[in-house]
């Protein structure tokens, strides 16, 4: 298990479980959002966060050492969300200054530009992949409902309104092909769960 958090000093911190919990390790940087982390294979972790300049920053563990931070640019108005659907593949989602959802990906050799996926986001997105060439993205929409958009290997879907009344961003995970679990905070500060 690996945990990433931003300290009071705006630096990234890492704690891991390997037969017992480690202490907190400082990974440096200066950040203005919560981090997002994803793993695409054994001994590999990629971490993303919004810098103090509102750009997206990336750091990775290659099995031997931490590399980065590298700036991936952009003008973010949210924390990032990250997913991976195969080895050496990364997909990152952020809210831009115009409140639209933006997508940037690593294809194994280079980073793409930012792809505008539209929508109106009122909070941080969440993203997950249940298998090869599949990505699901969730976010609070303008009416505070949970909204869903997905990549099926060929194209992006339209937006799907999943209802609810959210007061924060979305957490999402998948434990099998075709399975999605979403977690949100309601306006009563309670935790709610919706699954597919």
- Whether the per-residue pLDDT at 150 is higher than 90: the answer is yes
Distance CA 146, CA 144 (A): 7
Q: What's the rounded mean pLDDT across residues 118-132?
A: 96
- Mean pLDDT, all residues of the chain: 96
Supply 105's token pair.
């990906």
CB 125 within 8 A of CB 139: yes
Return the percentage of the chain with pLDDT > 70, whole number. Answer: 100
CB 172 within 8 A of CB 195: no
Supply 173's token pair.
């995970």
Exposed / middle / buried, residue 17 (Cβ in 10 Å: 0-12, 13-18, 19+): exposed
Q: Where are the beta strands (DSSP E) in 51-133?
A: 56-61, 66-71, 81-83, 90-95, 101-106, 115-118, 126-131
CB 191 within 8 A of CB 185: yes
pLDDT at 183: 97
- Whether the per-residue pLDDT at 132 is higher than 90: the answer is yes
pLDDT at 138: 98
pLDDT at 24: 98
Quick: pLDDT tens for 16-59: 999 999 999 999 999 999 999 999 999 999 999 999 999 999 99
- Whether the per-residue pLDDT at 142 is higher than 90: the answer is no
Q: Which single residue is written with the structure tokens 């609810």?
A: 164
Q: Virtual CA dihedral for 105, 173, 88, 125, nearest 10 degrees?
A: 20
CB 184 within 8 A of CB 172: no
| Band of pLDDT at residue 68, cut at 50, 70 and 90 | confident
Contacts of 30 (CB under 8 A, 6+ apart): 10, 11, 51, 52
CB-facing half-sphere around the CA of 52: CA atoms within 13 A: 8
Quick: pLDDT tens for 96-124: 999 999 999 999 999 999 999 999 999 99
Other C-beta atoms lying within 10 Å of the C-beta of residue 172: 23
């Amino acid at each position: 298990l690996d945990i990433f958090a931003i300290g009071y000093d705006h630096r990234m911190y890492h704690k891991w479980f390997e037969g017992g919990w480690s202490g907190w390790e400082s990974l440096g940087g200066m950040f203005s959002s919560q981090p997002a982390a994803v793993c695409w294979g054994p001994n590999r972790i990629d971490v993303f966060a919004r810098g103090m300049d509102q750009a997206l920053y990336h750091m990775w563990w290659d099995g031997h050492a931490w590399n980065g931070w590298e700036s991936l640019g952009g003008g973010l108005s949210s924390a990032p969300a990250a997913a991976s659907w195969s080895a050496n593949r990364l997909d990152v989602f952020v809210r831009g200054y115009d409140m639209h959802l933006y997508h940037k990906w690593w294809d194994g050799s280079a980073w793409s530009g930012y792809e505008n996926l539209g929508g109106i986001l009122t909070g941080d997105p969440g993203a997950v992949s249940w298998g090869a060439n599949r990505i699901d993205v969730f976010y609070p929409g303008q009416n505070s409902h949970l909204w869903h958009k997905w990549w099926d290997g060929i194209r992006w879907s339209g937006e799907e309104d999943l209802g609810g009344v959210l007061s924060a961003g979305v957490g999402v995970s998948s434990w099998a092909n075709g399975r999605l679990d979403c977690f949100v905070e309601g306006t009563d500060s309670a935790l709610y769960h919706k699954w597919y």
